Amino acid sequence: MADKTLTLKQSRALEALNLRLGGRLRTHLNSCVHCGLCGESCHYYLRYGDPRFLPGNKVDQIARLYRRYFTPQGRLLPGWFGAGDLNDAAIEEMVDVVFGGCTMCGRCSIHCSIGVDIPFLVRTARTMLHELGLVPEGLQSTVNAAIESGNNMAIPRDEMVDTLQWLEQDLRMEVDDDSAGIPLDATGKHILYTLNPREPKFFPLSISAMAKIFYAAKESWTISTNCYDTTNYAYFSGSDASARELTQRLTGEMQKLKAGVLALAECGHGFRAIRWEGPDWLGEAYPFPVVSVIELMAGYIRSGRIRLDPGRNEKRVTLHDPCNLVRAGGVIEEQRFVLEHAVRNFVEMTPNRENNFCCGGGGGQLSMGEYRDRRVEAGRIKADQIRETGAKIVAAPCHNCIDQLMELNQVYELGVEIRTLAELVADALVLKSPAVEGS
């Protein structure tokens, strides 16, 4: 690959592709037939009708480079085979399409005529752009904050502790029990619970809700104040080195605190990154199980460790399926099981589960302000889905989706509340046993 027209960074980007050219990547790079039927499965294409947003064109952003630099026919007859040079124009389109026009939601792959794993190719394209230093600033800065400070909002440890202690006081008052608590940095607990930094920073009600549920379930749990971040924005930015570093910190904390299970807050990409991608970044399986807190809640309900009164949630509730939790994470029925026990009136959106539409905020879009208008426009599909249910509450088991849904709620005047699953469960919790209540 000694191409003299390439800059050093461009060569490094191609080397990043070369290093990853295993059987799976090669297969997906070679499979698209340009059938052009995928557009209607993509929320960007549906809203804009712009061929740049065709999933097939997202594939081509990287496949044309593969053909040009890694296949003999693409080298000999690039124009004929749709092979393209890695030059400034190609890179500009690549950034616009793979960062600015895709949430890596994977809906197109489920529906692809062939079965091309399009988000996998888009992530690999992002890895190349990372080598070129072209990750959008807001996204890169979120990765940097996590690497440098230990959490993606750069929350200082003392402020984190202060907030959690404040929440603990509230919890004690609410359940009227001074033994209730939010155990910090405790060793030997069953569960190490991790958070999305946006919870302690701006939206702590979900932490309170989860603490109350753990209290009711008499769970043995703790939060680390040193290492608690569920997010992994390096999954979005394409940096495998940073993704590995962030994963290693969590596995290290699990060992340090001798916890049994790593439980992740309601965070779609965090679940995907840690549960499913992390072992590949580390090069080995984890010695402990990783679960979503949704699976924990479902387990508590199933085993009778918590009791819920759905009568306490009377309003109609619909459920948003976060792409990375559901379509790419496999947590599909648990949240439905939880809602059926926690609320009186639950209605599905259409379509749902692995066929859901992305809220529009995935793929790191929330951190890339330059594409904000596209994000909100592409989110109109989700807004329409919500409106159609007639629900007053949208349960969204992903803090990233919640933020996007809050914005859609405001822009499209949906008049709904957006809540985590834990908040709805906490509201429905019956704390005292029936015998005590009756006496």
Residues of this chain, 63-102, that bind other proteins according to CB under 8 A:
73, 79-82
Q: Does 279 bind other proteins (CB under 8 A)?
A: yes
Chain Cα centroid distance, residue 104: 10
Residue of 35, 173, 241, 430 interacting with other proteins (CB under 8 A) = 35
Binding mask 314-333 for other proteins (x = CB under 8 A): ------------xxxxx-x-
Largest CA distance in the chain: 86
Q: Kindly state the smallest distance separating residue 436's Cβ from other proteins, in Å.
A: 29
Residues found in the chain: 439
DSSP code at position 211: H
Q: Could you say which residues in the range 153-192 bind other proteins, by CB under 8 A?
A: 153-155, 159, 162-163, 166
Q: Does 352 bind other proteins (CB under 8 A)?
A: yes
Q: Are 106 and 118 in contact (CB under 8 A)?
A: yes
Q: Does 334 bind other proteins (CB under 8 A)?
A: no
Q: Are 335 and 349 in contact (CB under 8 A)?
A: no
In the complex with other proteins, which residue's Cβ is closer, 24 or 190? 24
Residue of 8, 176, 178, 283 interacting with other proteins (CB under 8 A) = 283
DSSP calls for 374-423: HHHHHTHHHHHHHHHHT-SEEE-S-HHHHHHHHHHHHHTT---EEE-HHH
In the complex with other proteins, which residue's Cβ is closer, 40 or 92? 40
Q: Could you say which residues in the range 213-232 bind other proteins, by CB under 8 A?
A: 231
Residue 150, helix vs strand vs coil: coil
Question: Near other proteins by CB under 8 A, which window of 89-97, 242-250, 368-376, 427-435?
Answer: 368-376
> Which residues face 292 on adjacent strands?
264
In the complex with other proteins, which residue's Cβ is closer, 222 or 389? 389
Q: Does 311 bind other proteins (CB under 8 A)?
A: no
Query: Residue 155 corresponds to which amino acid?
Result: I
Binding mask 100-119 for other proteins (x = CB under 8 A): ---------xxxxxxxxx--
Q: Kindly state the smallest distance separating residue 241's Cβ from other proteins, in Å.
A: 17
Q: Does 310 bind other proteins (CB under 8 A)?
A: no
Residue 83, helix vs strand vs coil: coil
Q: Are 60 and 122 in contact (CB under 8 A)?
A: no
3-state secondary structure 345-369: EEECCCCCHHHCCCCCCCCCHHHCH
Count Cβ atoms within 10 A of the Cβ of residue 92 and give its class: 0-12 exposed, 13-18 middle, 19 or more buried: exposed
Please tell me the distance from the alpha carbon of residue 387 to that of residue 98, in angstroms, as a whole number: 29
Q: Kindly state the smallest distance separating residue 5's Cβ from other proteins, in Å.
A: 22
Q: Are 230 and 264 in contact (CB under 8 A)?
A: yes
Q: Kindly state the smallest distance separating residue 309's Cβ from other proteins, in Å.
A: 22
What residues contact residue 283 under an 8 Å CB cut-off, 6+ apart?
Answer: none
Residue of 314, 388, 430, 432 interacting with other proteins (CB under 8 A) = 388
Question: Near other proteins by CB under 8 A, which window of 2-10, 213-221, 256-264, 369-377?
Answer: 369-377
In the complex with other proteins, which residue's Cβ is closer, 306 or 376? 376
In the complex with other proteins, which residue's Cβ is closer, 7 or 33? 33
Q: Are 230 and 195 in contact (CB under 8 A)?
A: yes
Give the phi and the psi of residue 319 in degrees, each rounded to 5: -125, 130
- Characterize 147-158 residue by residue with b for buried, 16 or more Cβ atoms within 10 angstroms of its Cβ, and e for exposed: beebbbbebeee
Q: Kindly state the smallest distance separating residue 379's Cβ from other proteins, in Å.
A: 14
Residue 62, helix vs strand vs coil: helix
Applying CB under 8 A, the site for other proteins has a residue count of: 105
DSSP calls for 269-302: HHHIIIIIIHHHHHTS--SS-EEEHHHHHHHHHH
In the complex with other proteins, which residue's Cβ is closer, 306 or 394? 394
Please name the helix (run of DSSP H) or strand (run of DSSP E) that holds residue 120, with its range, or none. Answer: helix 118-131
Q: Could you say which residues in the range 389-408 bind other proteins, by CB under 8 A?
A: 389, 399-400, 403, 406-407
Q: Kindly state the smallest distance separating residue 433's Cβ from other proteins, in Å.
A: 29
Please tell me the distance from the alpha carbon of residue 304 to that of residue 306, in angstroms, as a whole number: 5
Residue of 54, 135, 234, 429 interacting with other proteins (CB under 8 A) = 54
Q: Does 11 bind other proteins (CB under 8 A)?
A: no
Q: Could you say which residues in the range 234-253 bind other proteins, by CB under 8 A?
A: none
Q: Does 34 bind other proteins (CB under 8 A)?
A: yes
Q: Does 142 bind other proteins (CB under 8 A)?
A: yes
Residue of 168, 240, 277, 423 interacting with other proteins (CB under 8 A) = 277
Question: Near other proteins by CB under 8 A, which window of 25-33, 183-191, 217-225, 297-305?
Answer: 25-33
Q: Kindly state the smallest distance separating residue 430's Cβ from other proteins, in Å.
A: 23
Residue of 10, 13, 17, 56 interacting with other proteins (CB under 8 A) = 56
DSSP code at position 219: -
